[in-house]
Amino acid sequence: MIKGTIKGLGEVIFRVNDMKLMKDFYHKIIGLELINESEKYTFFKIANGYGGHHQTLALFAKSNLNAFNEKFKDIRIESGTLHHFAFEIDKKDYENILNFVKKENIEYVTEVFKWVNWKSIFIKDPELNIVEFICYDSNV
C-alpha cells in the first residue's frame, strides 16, 4: 500500500512549446535556481525536498516521449489538464511579490481563503499556465 509513504511533492513537469521563453520566465522572472538543461529539458530547484531529492520544476520539450515511451499530441493551451500549481512562500514575502508583479506589469489576481488562513497571488507564465504564490497568514 502506498498510503503513508509519500513524503512530499517531488516534481512538476511541463511540456513546452518554447523552451527558451519558458526557461527565461522561471529563471529570470520567478528566480528559480537552474540545475540542469539541454535543448530537450530544463530543471529548476524549487526547494530542498526529502532524502536528497529536490522539489523540482522541469520543462520538457514537446517532442520528448513520456516514461512509457509514448509520443504526446500537440500542446494546446486551451485544453490542458493542469488547473494551476502553487509555490509556498513566507508571509513576509507576500507584499514584495505583489509589488514586483505590479512593477513588471504582470497580470495578476489575488485571493484570500479565510477557511484555512491562506492568501494567494496568481499569475500566468508565457504559455498560460497559472502559477500561484501562497502563504499562511493567521490574520486573514
Is the domain of 105 the same as that of 139?
yes
Is the domain of 59 the same as that of 13?
yes
35: containing domain: 9-63
Question: Predicted confidence band at 81 (pLDDT cuts at 50, 70, 90)?
Answer: low
CA dist., res. 110 & res. 91, Å (int): 14
What pLDDT shows up at residue 69?
A: 85
- Percent of the chain scored above 90 by pLDDT? 69
Does residue 72 fall inside a structural domain?
no
Does residue 97 fall inside a structural domain?
yes
Question: Which whole number is the average pLDDT over 3-28?
Answer: 91
CA dist., res. 99 & res. 93, Å (int): 10
Q: Tally the domains of the chain.
A: 2
The reported pTM is 0.84
CA distances from 15 to 23, 109, 112 (A): 12, 25, 30
Identify the helix (H) or strand (E) that includes residue 37.
Answer: strand 33-37
Tens-digit pLDDT profile for residues 107-140: 999 999 999 999 999 999 998 889 999 999 999 9
pLDDT greater than 90 at residue 65: no
Is the domain of 49 the same as that of 101?
no
CATH number for position 41: 3.10.180.10
Tens-digit pLDDT profile for residues 91-109: 999 999 999 999 999 999 9
C-alpha cell at 38: 539541454
